[in-house]
Amino acid sequence: MSIFRDILKVLQTGVGIKDSLFVSDRVQVPGIGTGAAYAAADAFGVKFSFTVPVKGTIINVIFQDLDDEGLDKELNIFNRDFTETADNAAFAPSDDDLLNCIGVANIDTWYNFANNQIGMAYPALGYVAPTGLLYAQLLTRGADNIASGAIPKIFLVIV
């Protein structure tokens, strides 16, 4: 429980933010089939990774929806490499891969602008990433159809 108290203190006071806040690189979601119809529970793109501190807590996931769809996503996060599910297929990690899943960030808070949207998740997922990488694959909860040139981007905020 103390980690949440520490996170709340950092967010409320700004104390320690300079030393403890980490923002990952922005990753363009790889492997999305443009113009392809997705169904709910399909893999949305293929596996990708974030370079992160070896230990931390993911406090925010920011999904930059350049196609302005605003459909909920789940970011499945693993602390070891895993076998990806093919894009636009039912997301199906193996039992062995599931053992390395640190959790799922549910991107379900949307801010809609004129031409695009931001999706947010606030997972408070603690992790240990032995190699300094977190592996991930998105799953959609809607019927996406992404236009060419509008591939979404995603990044993490970690304390």
| pLDDT tens by residue, 96-121 | 999 999 999 999 999 999 999 999 99
Domain topology for 23-158: Jelly Rolls (2.60.120)
- Phi and psi based region of residue 102 (left: phi greater than 0; alpha: psi -120 to 50; beta: remaining): alpha
pLDDT value for 9: 60
| pLDDT tens by residue, 54-89 | 999 999 999 999 999 999 999 999 999 999 999 999
| Full-model pTM | 0.88
Please report the DSSP string for 106-155 in residue order: EE-EEEE-SS-EEEEE---EEEE-TTSEEEEEEEESS---PPTT---EEE
Quick one: tokens of 159?
Answer: 């304390």
